[in-house]
Amino acid sequence: MELLQRLKESIAWLGGALAALTAICYATGYYAFHAHLTMLGLGRVVDFKHEDMLLEGARFFFAVTAHLLQMVLALGAGGVSVLVLLALLGEIGPLARSGQRVREWLAQRRAALAAARPALKGTLLLTALVVLLIAHTDRFFYPLLALGRIDSLLFRSSAQATVDCRALIPAVGSGLPPDVAASLLMQGERCNVFLLAEFRRLLDGYLVLLMAIGASFSFTAAIRPELLARACRLVLAVYGMVYTLLLPVAFGILVRAAVYPVASLEFKDGALASGNLMTRNDKNLLLWLPAERKAVWYPSETIARLQVTGQANLFLVPEGGAR
């Protein structure tokens, strides 16, 4: 009976975990899809399919998890290398004795300073936290937030094709400004590597933030009064939550390619139309007409035949000229 009860509890826990994971994937997929379609200028036109949002959320989590795991392994390998090097240096007699004297001197100075100025450690930690938070927002958060201002790229004037995408990226500054990111997006798929690099850079900032939040639970204990320490942890938690919510937006804009099926329509009255098939439901389908640069809903009952001939990027720019 006890085994059966544990099995029931395990099944209930697994069902709850799967339901929570599905809800999270759905929410992140919605954010990513909405940001992607807003970037195109079709955010209020295209209908979302539930299964597409789940798949997009799963793709987002796979990309984030894979990159964060890669960075953690790289940091771990670097840390192990440093420890091995220190261990080897510790086997050298003169270096080991010199290191021991330096550690003893630092411990004495730290103890004397703590006795003379007990509040200095907390003040220094708080100052370092504020400075690092300001630097993080400037380097990672504001570029991430600015991506949300990219919209209606399909209805802007066509971008001139460029051979070297690096020429569009400013030499100074951190991150891609919205106008630069928009220019790279409108180059089609030729500049995808730079957009992906920007998303990975934002994920690096997310990893730094997660490490700072984890460390805050230990070093904020030195900050007095206790209310100030709790306020620091609360600020970091809120900042981390906002940063987390903005990551699917960056994924939908920078990573999700604007690639859609190329379809040819033959209507019952003999008329023809061709373009990118954006979405389809039981009653209508939405076709992007690149030559006329407009999206048109066509009733399904008026269509005699639909033929899909491939896929193409909506911002496809022919080699050596404008679209």
Most confident of 83-97, 143-157, 219-233: 143-157
What does pLDDT average to over the chain?
A: 83
- Kindly write down the DSSP assignment for every residue of 127-141, as one continuous string: HHHHHHHHHHIIIII
pLDDT digits (tens, 9 = 90+) for 48-95: 778 888 889 999 999 999 999 999 999 899 988 888 887 776 667 666
Q: Decide: helix, strand or coil at residue 45.
A: coil
Quote the pLDDT of residue 232. Answer: 83
pLDDT digits (tens, 9 = 90+) for 17-29: 778 888 888 899 9
Quote the pLDDT of residue 226. Answer: 74
Quote the pLDDT of residue 287. Answer: 92
Q: Determine contact, residues 259/295, Cβ cutoff 8 Å.
A: no
Closest CA to 206 of 232, 243, 233: 243
ω before 225 within 30° of 0 (cis)? yes
Quote the pLDDT of residue 137. Answer: 93
Instruction: Answer yes or no: is pLDDT of 318 > 50.
Output: no
pLDDT band (50, 70, 90) for residue 32: very high
Q: Determine contact, residues 244/268, Cβ cutoff 8 Å.
A: no
User: Helix axis angle, 50-90 relative to 192-219, nearest 10°?
Assistant: 60
Go through the domains of the chain in sequence order and give each one's CATH number.
68-255 (no CATH), 259-313 (2.30.30.100)
Quote the pLDDT of residue 199. Answer: 95
Instruction: Answer yes or no: is pLDDT of 317 > 80.
Output: no
Please state whether 171 falls in left (phi above 0), alpha (psi between -120 and 50) or beta: alpha
| Cα 132 to Cα 141: distance, rounded to the nearest angstrom | 12
| Cα 47 to Cα 34: distance, rounded to the nearest angstrom | 10
pLDDT band (50, 70, 90) for residue 319: very low
Q: How many residues does the chain have?
A: 323
User: Helix axis angle, 226-250 relative to 50-90, nearest 10°?
Assistant: 120
Quote the pLDDT of residue 119. Answer: 60
Quote the pLDDT of residue 65. Answer: 92
pLDDT digits (tens, 9 = 90+) for 180-218: 899 899 888 888 899 999 999 999 999 999 988 888 777
